[in-house]
Chains A and B, each alone.
Chain A
Amino acid sequence: MKFLKNIRIVLSILFFLPILLFFIDFTGKLPLQLHQLLSIQWIPALLSMNLVVLGILLLLSLLFGRIYCSTICPLGILQDILTWKSRFFHKKKKKVRYEYTAPKNILRYSILVLTVIVFLLGSSFLVLFLDPYSTFGRIASQLFRPLAIWGNNFIAYGLSAMGNYTFYKVEQVSFVPLAFGIALLFFLLITKMSWFKGRSYCNTICPVGTSLGLLSKISFFHISMNESTCTRCGACERKCKSQCIDSKATTVDDSRCVSCFNCLSSCKNGSIKYVARYKGKQVHPAEQKGNNSRRTFLLVSGAAIASAALAKTNKIIGKNDSILTRKPIMPPGANSIEHFNNHCTGCQLCVTKCPMQVLKPAALQYGILGITQPHLSFSTHVFCTYDCNICSNVCPTGALKPLVMEEKKLVQLGIAKFRKDMCVVFTDEKDCGACSEHCPTQAVHMIDYKNGLTIPEVTADLCIGCGACESICPVRPYQAIYVEGSSIQNKARKPSEAKKFNKKVEDFGF
């Protein structure tokens, strides 16, 4: 049955590599369609209510157990890679040997219950932090991507000195300490846990893993040990990165088994097999259960109350964002701040795909609940491109609704506010017009001022809040024109076209 493990490895590479490269790709060369690989992740499918994907994932789990964890989930595979890599660092004789540990039921079920309750109360706060796919996205975009860009820029620097422009310098990922810190924290956590304890993150912290564990308890196929032929040698137990095989008792804790199939090839006499559960004949030894139902009840109800309280307080803090001078600017397709905040898991996919790098993970712009959710942050030459709708179309969770180009061009991310007393035309009495020059809809246009000078004026209902004006305004550090974010993204008026010139010009005019 060794082929099962090989299939699992091949499949996991087929899922993992494109996802990893998609997050790292800073050249925009990879096809955007790859984002489909991300909509088949559990949490994104759940948030976007993608019933087809949910149905398939559910069916797969009911059939084969937690194969999502071992083949589709990028964080799971990253842990497998770390575990595998760790072999090269462990001393030869001290090679990691796993041994059975009791499930940390209290911890894992309370995390799951908390997450579900907080989500049902209308906050994706815990989902954002604990969704394994999004955690992977943050790690890839905040840690791996900058490294790749450094590498590229190093090569580009060397080559361009020799007149070769095959590689070009790429703008480094802008450093947002909070987002970087969170990514680093989780990376260290999963490294530490996977280094010594295999999949213990997936079986104690990850709410997706815990809930899939409930399904895999009744999955059609499962790992089963033959009590009569088993020699209790413990070979399978030592191989089990989920630490869920108890070779003494010849039991496998299905709820923690991620269907990696490593155990199958370890058994000398084929006493451990991947078989159908419901054959009838060999009934699985009765599981220990129900002996602590009272404790569980207390725990669950306690967790429920605690999480309800937490969600409430967080909401209060979230609304009290007076430290921010302006409202955050959401990516196009976010619709309303409530919808956006409750559906975005901060996976950073849109941030990595934004060709202008105007999308950045938020620190506290959305309040504590929206840490790492994307927002627009303008700087010189960095604004939302008029002819671009990539972010709205790659979002796997439905936090950003897909927009066709014509719709996107009318979505009001915010409204430009012009502060005349700061404008160089007013202060220096010199022409500038950089804002109007960059305005794609001419919501910002120049009107007569004095002495042949012109000064900007904003037509609010034409403005789409792309930030081109703010990004180019030479008045610094505080621009004379800036975008105030919209909490609800309205539709802007369609810019009127110029009057056509239909006469024929036949002379040079000089």
Chain B
Amino acid sequence: MKRRDFFKSAAIVGMASFFKTNALGSVLSGKGMAVHSEPDLVAVMGSEPEIMLVRALKEFGGIKNFVKRGQKVVIKPNIGWDRKPELAANTNPALVGALVKLCKGAGASEVIVFDHTCHDWKKSYTNSGIEKAVLAAGGKIVPANDESYYQEVDLPRGVNLKKAKIHKSLLECDVWFNVPILKHHGGAKNTISMKNLMGIVWDRSFFHSHDLHQCIADISTFHKKPALNIVDAYRIMKSNGPQGKSESDVVKLKSLLVSPDFVAVDTAAMKLFSQVQPTDINDVRYIGLAERLRVGTQNLDKLNIKRIKL
């Protein structure tokens, strides 16, 4: 780093931390400078997942702004359930496939996809359609079904969750994307970007026995932030989540929300969700708890949001 660059960054870091935390994160994680015109959150509606993804990324300066040649990339979708794509229990496979392809196109040496599933991992990988989409796009899908794939990290900012075992491929990669799906959730009320982080962790039962919401907020303080949270709202699950019972639980919103800010993107997603199933965001307690831990902001008015209809 040149001396001049250092001062420049330092100045921006100082400014950024003064105003809002997410820009600080984006500078520290080396995802380019927080250029003034770059949006904090992009919402796209009205097209197919692949198209909406490309459109949203364009607002952030394109995939090349995040993935450099030769880098190792990890994509973490929700593949928790042995369910077909139409039931919206897992992230849309077309979206995951498209992201893998973009990363490979940007020169990524390797694109790894995994999730610590709730159902049998092989069946979930297969029946979600994600395995096929990833392989077709030139990515790699790796198992996460055994403790030996995980390594313990400290979460100094965590309240209840002070340590967690996190999948090694995520710890070793250069950049990662969090690609959840927007769903109703019996336990956590809703699952979006922060709840999706439970799939990078080995011991989930700790979450359930030590105040689920606080633990979700705690894991969101993990120092290695995703470059972007790409929330799949092409199909959402409005009820009986997180598994769903039938397609009656599914609503096609044809939307996509993208932001580096966990709290902001979950807040926005809740507002989108509430149009289908009115939900008090305060009941999704982890969002407020995460904001208190300075993970991000719920105040969407202060953010630079791009709303795009296709």
Contacts and interface: CB of A to CB of B under 8 A. Distances in A.
Contact of A498 (B211, B213, B240): B240
Given A434-B187, A437-B187, A385 B211 contact: no
Given A169-B143, A440-B243, A498 B249 contact: yes
Interface stretch (B11-19, B31-39, B115-123): B115-123
B162 to A, nearest CB: 17
B188 A501 contact: no
Interface in B250-278: 251, 253, 255, 267-268, 271-277
A508 B271 contact: yes
B245 A165 contact: no
Nearest to A380: B205
Between A169, A433, A506, A510, the greatest number of chain B beta carbons within 10 A of the residue's beta carbon is seen for A510
Interface in B218-251: 238-243, 245-246, 248-249, 251
B45 interface: yes
B276 A432 contact: no
Contact of A475 (B43, B209, B242, B307): B209
B276 A505 contact: yes
A285 interface: no
Contact of B272 (A437, A441, A510): A510
A470 to B, nearest CB: 13
A165 B142 contact: yes
A421 interface: no
B165 to A, nearest CB: 14
B57 interface: no
B131 interface: no
B310 interface: no
Contacts of A436: 186-187
Interface stretch (B20-28, B48-56, B145-153): B145-153
A393 interface: no
A438 B142 CA distance: 23
B140 A165 contact: yes
A157 B148 contact: yes
A356 B210 CA distance: 27
A28 B122 contact: yes
A433 B186 contact: yes
B212 interface: yes
Interface string A353-364: 001100000000
A432 B213 CA distance: 8
A169 B211 CA distance: 31
B208 A434 contact: yes
A424 B212 CA distance: 11
A446 B123 CA distance: 27
Given A169-B148, A385-B120, A432-B209, A437 B186 contact: yes
A452 interface: yes
B305 interface: yes
A497 B246 contact: yes
Given A437-B185, A438-B243, A446-B186, A498 B212 contact: no
- Report the interface size class on chain B: 35 or more
A430 interface: yes
Nearest to B264: A510
A431 B145 contact: no
B294 interface: no
B40 interface: no
A428 B43 CA distance: 38
Between A430, A445, A472, the greatest number of chain B beta carbons within 10 A of the residue's beta carbon is seen for A430
Interface string A412-443: 00000000000010001011111011111110
A440 B282 CA distance: 27
A139 B78 CA distance: 39
B198 to A, nearest CB: 11
A508 B145 contact: no
A449 to B, nearest CB: 12
A144 interface: no
B122 A433 contact: no
A433 B240 contact: no
B285 interface: yes
A505 B255 CA distance: 10
A452 B238 contact: no
A320 B213 CA distance: 46
A509 B241 CA distance: 21
Nearest to A507: B275
Contacts of A171: 145-146
A160 interface: yes
Contacts of B205: 380, 434, 472, 474
A48 to B, nearest CB: 28
Contact of A441 (B238, B245, B274): B245
Contact of A472 (B45, B208, B212, B285): B208
Given A430-B212, A498-B245, A438 B118 contact: yes
A277 B258 CA distance: 84
5 contacts: A165-B140, A169-B146, A433-B212, A442-B240, A508-B43
Interface of A: 28, 157, 160, 165, 168-169, 171, 355-356, 380-381, 385-388, 424, 428, 430-434, 436-442, 445-446, 452, 472, 474-475, 495, 497-501, 505-510
The 6 closest A-B pairs by CB, nearest first: A433-B187, A474-B209, A509-B271, A436-B186, A474-B208, A510-B271
